[in-house]
Amino acid sequence: MMKICSRMKLAHLVSFFILFFAGCAAKHVMLDRAVVRNDTGGIITDVKVVHEPTGKTGGVNMILPHMSFELGFAEQPMDAKRAIITWTDRENILRRSEVALPGRRDTKQGQSHILVYTIQPAGIAHVHQDNSDM
């Protein structure tokens, strides 16, 4: 009788962990694009976005005023917690902004998302997440 109870406890424990980790995986945000918008009113150059702690990096030489740079890539999970955005503004000032990346959110199975970084005047940057079919 003792062996049966131990096996049942072990089975329940294993089932709990399987369901727990399956639930976590289902809520993982999947990305397939990133956009950087220039809302500064001037040309920005040497634009770079670095995700931390993963170290994934993307960049572009220049974005014209009120224009965007869009980068598509193979769908992948968003493992980063924050991003560091650097750019040089029209006054030739090197700017740096650190933003927290959006967390997990309710998503439909198989739905990808896009990260949209918006660079504003005075060295301010924001990020938000949208559905990829926007």
Q: What is the pLDDT of residues 93-123, one digit of tens each?
A: 999 999 998 876 555 556 788 899 999 998 9
Tell which wins on pLDDT, 67 or 19. Answer: 67
Number of domains in the chain: 1
Residue 61 counted as domain residue: yes
Residues 54-69 have pLDDT tens digits of 998 999 999 999 999 9
CATH (domain of 58): 2.60.40.2890
Residue 9 covered by a domain:
no
Q: Is 47 exposed, middle or buried (0-12, 13-18, 19+ CB in 10 A)?
A: buried
pLDDT band at 80 (very low <50, low <70, confident <90, very high): confident
Q: Indicate left, alpha or beta for 102 from its phi (over 0: left) and psi (-120 to 50: alpha).
A: beta
Quick one: pLDDT at residue 92? 96
Domain housing 120: 30-131
> Residue range 43-58: average pLDDT?
94
User: Which residues are within 8 A (CB) of 46 and not within 5 positions of it... i.e. 6 or more apart?
Assistant: 59, 61, 86, 87, 88, 94
